[in-house]
Structure 1
Amino acid sequence: MKIGRSDSSSRPCRGSEGGMTGYLYADAPEHDWLAVATAGRVLVARVGGDSERIAQVAAAGDATASVQNVLEMLTAKGLSNVGPFALVFWVDGAMRSNGLGVIVRGGATVSVITDDDTVVVSSRGVTTWTEQVIENAVSFTVETGGSSATDQLLPLSQGAAWVSSIRLDNDAPQAVTTDAVSAAVSPEPVPQRPEPTVEPSVLAESTEETRVFHTTTGVRAEKVSHQGEPEADGYDYLFGATVFRTVGSAAVEEAESDDSDAAAPAAPAASVPAPAQAAAPPQQPAAPTLGDHDGHTMLAADILEARRRAKAQAPAPQAPPVPTAPQASSVLPPSHAYVLELPDGGRQALSAPVILGRAPSVSNVPASVLPHLVTLVGDDISRSHLRVAVEGGTVVVTDLHSSNGTHVIAPGKPPQLLRAGEPTPVIVGTTIDLGSDILLRITEA
């Protein structure tokens, strides 16, 4: 497989922070470490001359693949056949707000620069890999330990390249600021017009997306709400800026005519009941001249008058009860309410599925999030022996087709052999026997 080099003419990827995702890499003379970059994720893996391994790593460049999919590709042949690699990804697509995820196996190291410090992630002394989420990350560099063909760093937006190191390019074009976009689209305010009244809840929820060079900037409603109220008799104010107005003032009203009262439609019913002490109804205008009338047709004015009388005779509705402020809940989410006690006395939170075994792997293990891998030592323990997860608020254990099976012992019950591959719910206090005197226990957090 031939690996090309991505230059500045490559199609840019829109980064998760609103700017461009760009990288700078040092070209490697030997084709040993392959970097595959895409928006919000970069994988650096040692492939040597193995063409099958190269194709496997290159497939991870699919932007639609999740981090879980990438790990399944790398561990498809078992953990023992996984070579050294470093996977760096934006957590939930946002590095600055949600953190930077780093997974390292083998000789690679990742240096992450944060607002306060520099964090170095490596897998020294770890049999599987090191996984860490770093908050307030600003930039990162992946070092392979190999030599570079030149001192010049080459740009890479997305694609694959042979590298000795690669880092995030902080000088890539960034998103246009909110103030700049607001100033560019805001017209001069119309003088001698009061500002429109906008509910605070509308200001908090209303946003406008302005796309500039494939970047997205959320423009707050406050930036445009200070413009003067435009004239309501035309449509010119609709061009060049978005003006937040009330429903009544935003509608274009027709000029009033002499018979507007007779042709007025019935007023819509209010969606919120009136308070108990409502203000006195305003004085009704004089009845309009009806003109020709056959005595059988009900005009709009008749309907309005009938509704007014019915409303005046109806008893005032009860004021809705004032809801009390909800108390802060101290109940933990279901996934954080349970803990798995390990044989060495350690405690593993069930915030994500847990895979236990002699050499646990994520291959062929369904999970909505990245599972925790726990290594156990014992003659009766299979490579991937057991899966423990919280599903729908209940702890569920699944024997992953182990060689010697798994027994669960509920409080006050005899041991029960799990069916291979069949999820089985258990309760707090249940003991799990994997053989070789390795016992696990389900407890509350």
Structure 2
Amino acid sequence: MSGESVGRWRATYTPGSWLLLCGPAAAVVLEPADPSWSDLVETLWDEVLAAESIADVAARLAWYRIDSMPSFAAFFWGADGMRSLVRGAVRVVDADSGELVATGEGVQTWVETGLGDLRQVRVELPAERPDGVFPLPLVVGAVGVSAVFLDATDESALSSPQQAAPTVPFVEPTPEPDVTPEPVAAPEPDPAPEPMPLDEPEPTNRVEHELADTRMVSAPELFGDLDDADELDDGRVQAVFCAWGHPNPPGAGRCRVCEGLIAVQPPRSIPVPAVAVLRASSGATVEVVTSVLVGRAPAHDRARVEDPALLTVTSPSHDISRTHLEVFASGWDVGVTDLHSTNGTVLVSPDGSIRTMDPGETVGVELGTSLELADGISVLIDFPQ
């Protein structure tokens, strides 16, 4: 009795620190995961199970920024046999001949390789095999690995007898006695339906769906009242969260604080968090939540908000103005305004490019930008901690 198919291939693996996500027709091997992945592994595994082709696997990985990992591999069994995507230090080897069939070394994106009639491959990883481990079988699941063997031969295709439809025994019908049926009165005709009011729609499937029980939620409960695309008029922003609970702008793939991966999720409205940390070369630090005034004696009334934070820096020669500049948050973005300082402000971008701001000029800046003031003082606009 044959049962329902469980998988087209079987994986054999030795335990280790790399991550193997295996489904009936797709498998993905990822670099060692840190604890921030704990809530993301199941989501990624669901994506592997749902993939319909090697291109679909690649698209799903790209959605979670997995394609930016230095090394990974993906495999899919389709109508044209097994196909692979590899990047970085992953090697795919013919299990019979030992011949290298795919490698990602020196590749900026990934290499897609059709393995043709090849049915058994070894996936070699730059991982140490822990002492005392031995090969284990896997069809569908998520495990830590140090090496993987994929067997897609006909003999490896698995079916589950537990999933097979039960056999129903044949029972010969018992003959019924010959009984003359009594006459049955004709049913009364149904009363004519009352006409529907003109302002009510016909009961189509769409209308039935629209009239079904629905939980109505007001927009502010989910999103708040938007002032513009990024900032809320009540000091709130839209945010998504990594596995450690750090808030990030919607659409972010990696956490700006811990760099952990962020699962796809609807954004939530939260109070504006610290979008940056200012680190003066003199050692002082302050978070950027709304506005920070920087200078040798900054005055509160120069800011765009009522209660700005202040960052006081030393300037023995008084080359730095009392209130030299303002660093402020605009939604998730950071802006800098030179407050008509005496000796100006120089921006040094993360890529090393240099720009001198005009007096009174406001510009948006990247995190990692350094503000060069005077007297050898600089202020780094750093990532929040």
TM range (shorter): 0.3 to 0.5
Task: Give the structure-2-normalised TM-score.
Answer: 0.35
- Greater fraction strand: 2
Normalised TM-score (structure 1) = 0.31
Structure with more helix by fraction: 1
